[in-house]
């Protein structure tokens, strides 16, 4: 169903600031590290960038988008505003609290989805749209070191805590030893079946004005669906801009005013 | 000549004498023949009637006699009665004008109607969303200087009433369950929404308060409704001309050259109507049409229980004035002093067999006029969002012009799930991948520098050489964003486009997914199908043409299936009859060997013997076959007068209405008699041959 395709793209765009991981051997240290990763992600500051997304799906034509992403980590708000192709121009997603709004300028209509509903009858879950809570939701386990091309990676296995309903009960992360960035991530079902493999081959540093320090971001992300092998997604991040955002940006009025 | 007649007379006399002589045998054989011919008459009459009624409805509603679509399509086409909700995946035919020309060139084709089938989920938002959307619009217009003060004040009042209802609801939940049943955040939000501070500055600057209400209060009302709409895009005029079964119930047809939407009455009632009212209708139907009683039917009791507990749906619709009016009306009707309208409503909906009819009338006469019975009203704008074939989201805003039914199929969901839309809007929502769109996608990929990396090569290619840790130049997405945003200005077209007419010539120029063909002579459908496919091949449009039975899905082919079952049972019965008659005659022949020998001795020809047995068999066939046919005709007559009730949805569709009144055609009787005579004649051949072999000498010898 094409709807799921669009939402996957959206969810992947949101995972833009993927967690940065550091290698550690002890369990307690791993938990601490996950905590700091989550904490750091929550305090990423104001963020603006241009993303290019390509989605391939079985028996369907390829889809490509260009979109502007505005994100404020402080209150977990974001806007995704599509700029290309023409058919999608001006359409946008706005997240405020637990609401995800979709706006289509060609009809001037807002559509709200709450977290309670299954979005558009698909299997998209709320966790796809949430911030990373690895430290709270998973138990880490050290799997030693592994070569990944020219890199040496620390491999960490994360197992979901039993009382939490998670989209992916098991996650494996390959973390670059030197920079502590996630290079590869695999998600598994409870049965151990591999569901998705993602790669983050190019990490870049940028100076954040709101944080007064360098912030890392993955310039390229590739997602390969391991269940439906023909499906894959590529996201490229360009023109990252860390200047503070206008305070009234995350409102319906703002998005409306931009396409009216 | 006279000699022949005399011979025949003698043969007939002998045959009849033989039949009477072995009465029991004759009765057994006759009974089988009687049953067979009765089955043929009743069975064919029933199947013919279903076929006729269904074909009238299906051909006259959507399918036409023949459906045509591209033979390159992945799926097979079903226009109604498909078993899954997904629309079939059809390859569009690019140029409808060329298709129409080609089809009209086929001799038997009278008319061609363009079509396309698709579906969308419309999220209408919950009651609070809808009210807040109206308030936002009114506030905007008021600030722009429009004279909407009265409507604005009333809507504002309505929102404040809603907040009261939601707060009361939360208090109730806390009382019934526990203090923690509602989160502190939600309680605080409700308190803030009810506070004077929020409303004090509303008139001056409504937007911050609106954002708060939309994001924090609207999600508290959980009656969000999704409409699942299956729709048929078509040329409204051509459709109305070719399909006489379609009748407008409310509103009007979509005017020529206008974008618009027509709800199927069935969908409108089942999906768009206020749930409480729908349940009252169902209870009413159960009592009046299906002779149920509330006391005995668990189903009716369940609906009543839902109405009693789910009064919030109505409460959210009431502003201050309506709340007062409801209180007064319900107190009067129930003779109660209760001031809580929610409790009064619950009490009102707790109906029994004695008071239901009265309360049902009261609801529609007094309460319903103050409610929005339908979430979308005729005349409203409906926004339909769909995922196009090229993968992108596309929305269109359409005026709802009215509702319609297909006569004879009013209550069938198989036919009733189909709504209608103008073809131009349909094409926008369908969004075939045009060369222009494909080029655009390619441009985006080139601009972004996207590179294909296969799954197998991913690690080697992506991690082959280190590319981490460089400091990226500080981007200026902000500036780029400003430029992009400026270029987006003016994209909003709002309602104007929905009310702008389109050039009817556009209908002809674009693509279609399928087309209905109406023929001049329905008896030549299979020939016309061949002609259409040949004409398509000649014109370079690869076409597949199917009959209306096939186009109406599995249910449509049900009749063909029943007919096959009938024919097979008839075949089996008569095969058995043939064997039995044959055996009976063989035995009779053997028993009568001396007599046959004597007849031969006194000069009877072999032909005479064969004729004798043939007449014997035919006499039984004609007598009992006619009796069976007569009895069958009687049964059909009785059933025809009473009608067979359609007890479920599939039968409703097959019968094209609530009852089937089968009728008898001469063909049913003629076929039955023809089969009986043929079987009788065939079964006399073998005994006849036996008899013919007998020589007078043999016959006389065997007597000892």
Task: Find the CB nearest B481 among A68, A87, A151.
Answer: A68
Query: To the nearest 10°, the Cα dihedral for B363, B368, B369, B373?
Result: -160
Which residues of B are less than 8 Å from A65 in CB distance? 444
Hey, are the CB atoms on A258 and B489 less than 8 Å from each other?
yes
Residue A88 in tokens: 């999608």
What is the DSSP annotation of B124-187? Answer: EE-HHHHHHHHHHHHHHHHHTT-S-HHHHHHHHHHHHHHHHHHHHHHHHHHHHS-GGGS-HHHH
CA dist B178 and B168 (Å) reads 15
CA dist B90 and B104 (Å) reads 22
Burial class (CB in 10 A: 0-12, 13-18, 19+), B697: exposed
Sign of the Cα torsion A127, A133, A139, A142 reads positive
DSSP alpha helix (H) spans, B73-126? 96-104
Task: Find the CB nearest B475 among A54, A88, A239.
Answer: A239
Which residues of A are less than 8 Å from B484 in CB distance? 68, 81, 83
Which residues of B are less than 8 Å from A113 in CB distance? 123
CB-based contact A213:A198 (threshold 8 Å): no
Distances (CA, A) of B518 to B76, B108, B344: 20, 9, 56
Query: To the nearest 10°, the Cα dihedral for B134, A105, A256, A47?
Result: 140
pLDDT at residue number B643: 87
pLDDT at residue number A257: 73
Across the strands, what pairs with B383? B397
**The residue count for chain B:** 704
Average pLDDT over residues A44-67: 82
pLDDT at residue number A122: 36
Hey, are the CB atoms on A106 and B470 less than 8 Å from each other?
no
Q: Are strands B418-422 and B514-519 parallel, antiparallel or unpaired?
A: unpaired
Which residues of A are less than 8 Å from B376 in CB distance? none
CB-based contact A183:A175 (threshold 8 Å): yes
Question: Residues B571-579: contacts with CB within 8 Å, 24+ apart?
Answer: B573/B32, B573/B35, B573/B36, B573/B39, B574/B36, B574/B675, B574/B679, B576/B32, B577/B29, B577/B32, B577/B33, B577/B36, B577/B679, B577/B683, B578/B679, B578/B682, B578/B683, B579/B683
Residue A216 Cα, gap to closest chain B Cα (Å):
8
Across the strands, what pairs with B264? B404
What contacts B456, CB < 8 A, 6 or more positions away? none
Residue A135 Cα, gap to closest chain B Cα (Å):
24
Distances (CA, A) of B368 to A155, B272, B550: 65, 15, 43
Hey, are the CB atoms on A258 and B485 less than 8 Å from each other?
yes
**Band (A119; pLDDT cuts 50, 70, 90):** very low
The domains located in chain A, with CATH, are 2-259 (2.50.20.10)
CA dist B343 and B500 (Å) reads 47
Quickly tell me which residue has 């209760």 as its tokens: B338
Which residues of B are less than 8 Å from A117 in CB distance? 224
CA dist B681 and B390 (Å) reads 67
Quickly tell me which residue has 């217009």 as its tokens: B141
**Band (A10; pLDDT cuts 50, 70, 90):** low
Question: Is pLDDT of A15 > 70?
Answer: no
Backbone angles phi, psi at A77, to 5 degrees: -100, 150
Hey, are the CB atoms on B125 and A111 less than 8 Å from each other?
yes
Hey, are the CB atoms on B477 and A68 less than 8 Å from each other?
yes
What is the DSSP annotation of B660-698? Answer: E-----HHHHHHHHHHHHHHHHHHTHHHHHHHHH--HHH
Sign of the Cα torsion B128, B130, B133, B139 reads negative
What's the gap between Cα A165 and its chain centre?
19
Distances (CA, A) of A38 to A11, A13, A164, A252: 17, 17, 17, 28
pLDDT in tens, B525-580: 999 999 999 999 999 999 999 998 888 877 777 778 888 988 898 888 888 888 88
What contacts B685, CB < 8 A, 6 or more positions away? none
pLDDT at residue number A68: 86
CB-based contact A182:A15 (threshold 8 Å): no
Q: Which of B442, B481, B489, B494 to mutate to test the interface with A (most CBs of A within 10 A)?
A: B481
Hey, are the CB atoms on A238 and B477 less than 8 Å from each other?
yes
Residue A114 Cα, gap to closest chain B Cα (Å):
7
Task: Find the CB nearest A87 among B129, B392, B459.
Answer: B392
**Ranges of chain B whose pLDDT falls below 70:** 1, 81-86, 124, 223-225, 466-481, 484-499, 699-704
Residue A91 in tokens: 């359409």
The helix (H) or strand (E) run that includes residue B117 is: strand B109-125
Residue B128 Cα, gap to closest chain A Cα (Å):
11
Sign of the Cα torsion B138, B142, B148, B151 reads positive
- Count chain A–chain B contacts defined by CB atoms under 8 A: 246
Q: Which of B75, B118, B484, B486 to mutate to test the interface with A (most CBs of A within 10 A)?
A: B484
Task: Find the CB nearest A234 among B133, B450, B493.
Answer: B450
Hey, are the CB atoms on B468 and A151 less than 8 Å from each other?
yes
Query: To the nearest 10°, the Cα dihedral for B74, B76, B80, B86?
Result: -30
For residue A226, give the chain B residue with the closest CA. Answer: B455
DSSP SS3 for B630: helix
Which residues of A are less than 8 Å from B497 in CB distance? 106
Distances (CA, A) of A127 to A6, A41, A133, B23, B249: 16, 15, 10, 85, 46
What is the DSSP annotation of B322-350? Answer: HHHHHHHHHHHHHT-----HHHHHHHHH-
Residue B62 in tokens: 């959507």
Hey, are the CB atoms on A178 and B493 less than 8 Å from each other?
no
Residue A29 Cα, gap to closest chain B Cα (Å):
24
CA dist B193 and B209 (Å) reads 8
Distances (CA, A) of B305 to B195, B277, B314, B334: 35, 13, 15, 18
The helix (H) or strand (E) run that includes residue A139 is: strand A138-148
Distances (CA, A) of B189 to B166, B176, B242: 11, 21, 57
Hey, are the CB atoms on A107 and B453 less than 8 Å from each other?
no
Hey, are the CB atoms on A112 and B218 less than 8 Å from each other?
yes
Distances (CA, A) of A155 to A145, A175, B621: 6, 6, 89
Per-residue burial over B449-481, b = 16 or more CB atoms within 10 Å of its CB, e = otherwise = ebeebeeeebbebbbeeebbeeebeebebbebb
For residue B515, give the nearest of B93, B212, B192 by alpha carbon. Answer: B93
What is the residue extent of each domain of chain B? Answer: 2-56+557-702, 127-222
pLDDT at residue number B264: 93
What is the DSSP annotation of B6-19? Answer: HHHHHHHHHHHHHH
For residue A201, give the chain B residue with the closest CA. Answer: B462
CA dist B97 and B105 (Å) reads 12
pLDDT at residue number B353: 92
Residue B383 Cα, gap to closest chain A Cα (Å):
7
CB-based contact B251:B403 (threshold 8 Å): yes
For residue A85, give the chain B residue with the closest CA. Answer: B440
pLDDT in tens, A121-164: 333 444 444 566 777 888 888 888 888 888 888 888 988 888 77
Residue B454 Cα, gap to closest chain A Cα (Å):
9
| Distance separating the N- and C-terminal Cα atoms of chain B | 39
For residue B544, give the nearest of B533, B552, B534 by alpha carbon. Answer: B533
CA dist B381 and B377 (Å) reads 8
CB-based contact A236:B448 (threshold 8 Å): yes
pLDDT at residue number A25: 53
């Amino acid at each position: 169903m094409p709807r799921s395709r669009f939402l996957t793209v959206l969810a992947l765009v949101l995972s833009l600031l993927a967690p940065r991981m550091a290698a550690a051997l002890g369990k307690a240290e791993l938990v601490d590290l996950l905590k700091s990763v989550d904490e750091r992600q929550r305090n990423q500051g104001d963020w603006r960038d241009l993303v290019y997304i390509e989605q391939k799906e079985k028996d369907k034509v390829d889809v490509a988008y260009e979109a502007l992403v505005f994100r404020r980590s402080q209150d977990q708000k974001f806007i995704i505003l599509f700029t290309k192709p023409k058919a999608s121009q001006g359409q946008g997603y706005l997240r405020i609290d637990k609401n995800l709004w979709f706006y289509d300028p060609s009809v001037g209509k807002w559509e709200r989805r709450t977290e309670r509903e299954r979005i558009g009858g698909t299997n998209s879950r709320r966790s796809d749209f949430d911030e990373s809570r690895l430290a709270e939701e998973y138990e880490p386990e050290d799997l030693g070191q592994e070569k990944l091309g020219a890199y040496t990676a620390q491999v960490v296995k994360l197992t979901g805590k039993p009382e939490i309903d998670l989209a992916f009960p098991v996650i494996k992360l390959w973390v670059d030893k030197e920079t502590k960035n996630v290079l590869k991530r695999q998600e598994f079902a409870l049965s151990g079946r591999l569901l998705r493999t993602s790669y983050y081959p190019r990490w870049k540093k940028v100076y954040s004005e709101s944080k007064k320090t360098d912030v890392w971001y993955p310039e390229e992300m590739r997602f390969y669906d391991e269940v439906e092998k023909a499906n894959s997604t590529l996201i490229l991040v360009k023109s990252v801009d860390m200047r503070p955002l206008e305070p009234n940006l995350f409102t319906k009025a703002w998005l409306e005013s931009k396409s009216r | 000549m006279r000699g022949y007649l005399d011979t025949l007379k003698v043969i007939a006399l002998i045959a009849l004498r033989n039949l009477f002589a072995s009465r029991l045998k004759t009765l057994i054989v006759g009974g089988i023949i009687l049953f067979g011919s009765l089955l043929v008459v009743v069975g064919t009459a029933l199947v013919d009637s279903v076929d006729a009624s269904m074909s009238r409805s299906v051909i006259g509603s959507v399918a036409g006699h023949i459906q045509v679509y591209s033979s390159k399509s992945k799926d097979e086409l079903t226009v109604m009665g498909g078993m899954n909700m997904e629309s079939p995946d059809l390859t569009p035919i690019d140029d409808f004008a060329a298709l129409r020309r080609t089809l009209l060139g086929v001799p038997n084709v009278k008319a061609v109607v363009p079509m396309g089938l698709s579906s969308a989920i419309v999220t209408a938002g919950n009651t609070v969303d809808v009210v807040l959307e109206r308030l936002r619009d009114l506030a905007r217009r008021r600030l722009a200087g429009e004279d909407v003060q009265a409507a604005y004040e009333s809507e504002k009042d309505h929102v404040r009433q809603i907040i009261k209802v939601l707060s009361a609801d939360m208090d109730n939940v806390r009382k019934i369950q526990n203090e923690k049943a509602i989160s502190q955040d939600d309680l605080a939000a409700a308190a803030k929404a009810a506070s004077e501070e929020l409303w004090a500055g509303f008139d001056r600057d409504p937007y911050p308060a609106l954002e708060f209400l939309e994001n924090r209060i609207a999600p508290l009302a959980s009656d969000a409704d999704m409409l699942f709409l299956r729709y048929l895009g078509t040329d409204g005029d051509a459709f109305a001309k070719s399909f006489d079964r379609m009748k407008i119930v409310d509103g009007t047809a979509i005017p020529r050259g206008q974008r618009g939407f027509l709800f199927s009455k069935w969908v409108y009632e089942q999906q768009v109507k206020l749930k409480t009212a729908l349940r009252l209708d169902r209870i009413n139907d159960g009592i009046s049409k299906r002779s149920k009683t509330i006391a005995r039917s668990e189903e009716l009791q369940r609906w009543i229980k839902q109405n009693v507990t789910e009064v919030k749906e109505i409460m959210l619709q009431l502003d201050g004035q309506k709340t007062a009016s409801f209180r007064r009306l319900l107190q009067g009707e129930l003779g109660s002093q209760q001031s809580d309208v929610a409790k009064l409503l619950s009490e009102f909906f707790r109906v029994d067999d004695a008071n239901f009819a009265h309360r049902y009338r009261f609801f529609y006469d007094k309460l319903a006029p103050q409610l929005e019975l339908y979430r979308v009203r005729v005349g409203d704008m409906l926004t339909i969002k769909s995922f196009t074939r090229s993968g992108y989201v596309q929305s269109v805003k359409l005026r709802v012009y009215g509702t319609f039914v297909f006569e004879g199929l009013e209550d069938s969901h198989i036919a009733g799930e189909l709504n209608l839309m103008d073809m131009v809007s349909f094409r926008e929502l369908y969004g075939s991948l045009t060369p222009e769109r494909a080029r655009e996608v390619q441009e985006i990929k080139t601009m972004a520098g996207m590179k294909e990396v296969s799954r197998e090569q991913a690690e080697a290619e992506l991690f082959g050489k280190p590319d981490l840790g460089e400091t990226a130049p500080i981007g200026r997405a902000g500036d780029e964003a400003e430029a992009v945003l400026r270029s987006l200005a003016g994209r909003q077209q709002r309602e104007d486009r929905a009310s702008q007419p389109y050039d009817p010539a556009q209908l002809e120029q674009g693509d279609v997914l399928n087309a209905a063909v109406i023929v001049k002579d329905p008896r030549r459908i299979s020939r016309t199908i061949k002609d259409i496919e040949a004409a398509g091949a000649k014109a370079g449009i690869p076409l597949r043409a199917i009959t209306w039975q096939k186009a109406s899905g599995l249910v449509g082919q049900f009749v063909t299936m029943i007919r096959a079952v009938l024919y097979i049972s008839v075949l089996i019965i008569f095969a058995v009859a043939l064997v039995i008659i044959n055996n009976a005659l063989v035995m009779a022949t053997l028993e009568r060997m001396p007599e046959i020998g004597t007849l031969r001795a006194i000069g009877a020809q072999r032909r005479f013997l064969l004729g004798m047995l043939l007449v014997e068999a035919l006499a039984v066939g004609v007598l009992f076959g006619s009796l069976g046919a007569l009895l069958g005709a009687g049964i059909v007559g009785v059933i025809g007068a009473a009608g067979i009730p359609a007890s479920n949805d599939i039968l409703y569709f097959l019968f094209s209405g609530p009852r089937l009144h089968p009728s008898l055609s001469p063909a049913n009787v003629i076929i039955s008699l023809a089969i009986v005579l043929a079987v009788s004649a065939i079964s006399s051949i073998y005994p006849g041959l036996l008899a013919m072999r007998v020589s007078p000498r043999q016959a006389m010898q065997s007597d000892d």
